[in-house]
Amino acid sequence: MDRLTEVTTPDGLVLDVTDTGPLDGTPVVLLHGFPERATSWRLVAPLLHERGLRTFAVDQRGYAPRARPRGRRAYRLKNLADDAGAVVAAVRAATGQPVHVAGHDWGAAVAWAVAARPGLVASLTALSVPHPAAFVRSFTRSDQARRSWYMGFFQLPRVPEALARSAGGPLESLLARTGMTTPELARFRAEVVETGALTGALGWYRALPLAPPRVGRVRVPTTMVWSDGDDAIGRAAAEGCEDFVVGEYELVVLGGVTHWIPTQAPEAAAEAIAARVRGDLETQTDEEQQ
């Protein structure tokens, strides 16, 4: 059985895939967020392998070198979900098994959109970012608009890119304030800024005014993982997800963890994903994870 190394999207882009773990393991597609790449799962994936899962970490549109279209319209959530749907289909064809999906940050938004499409995935684990409808609704019910001010800033053409030119500059300072560590910032510079991926990564934000995300209710078993040290996403948005899931749902709250769950709490992330895949949630029920 061969490893899956790339997937072609419906519009002809090529996404790179890191396929690791036991070849006969239950397949899980891992979707990264901003401003990271598939390597953001590097600490989580081995823990999932130990639990019998096979992981497919994807460099998504804007990040993968052969998938960087010009223009913000190419980065609408529908396109991103179409990409992920193509990955899921390729994984299902390669393994012959139902496919589970997990995403962090923007990858979670894409995962919600994919999971809302009937018949694509067997389960969803979303880290940090809630269902898009819960997120939008939280703007009128909490301080989420204040937390999300940077989304407006990212709409400015060329300015965020200019602020990222120097190591330790304003953009890295912004990321550091959200809890990104010095090694994580160095990886951001090496994998996103220096490879020319930043404009494509920002395209995900810049496409929002063109097509606000509309995602239906999710009908597959779902876990939402939120950390109480997250400066970008508030509790109201996380707790609101339940209204947009039909069927089995779990909210896991991690105590004392920042937004960057896969790199800073990999064991908790792996356990939440594995528990959802297994359908074994006894130890995850509404508890504060320390």
* pLDDT over 90, % of the chain: 93
- Give me the pLDDT at residue 283, please: 36
Rounded to whole angstroms, the Cα distance separating 132 from 31 reads: 16
> pLDDT confidence of 285, banded at 50, 70, 90?
very low
Q: Which domains does the chain have, with CATH numbers?
A: 6-289 (3.40.50.1820)
Q: What is the pTM of this model?
A: 0.95
Least confident of 81-95, 106-120, 269-283: 269-283
215-200-152-218 Cα dihedral, nearest 10 degrees: 10
**pLDDT tens-digit profile of 101-160?**
999 999 999 999 999 999 999 999 999 999 999 999 999 999 999 999 999 999 999 999
User: For position 280, what pLDDT does the model report?
Assistant: 60
- The per-residue pLDDT for range 37-75, each reduced to its tens digit, is 999 999 999 999 999 999 999 999 999 999 999 999 999
Q: What is the pLDDT of residue 289?
A: 40
Tokens of 139: 């703007």
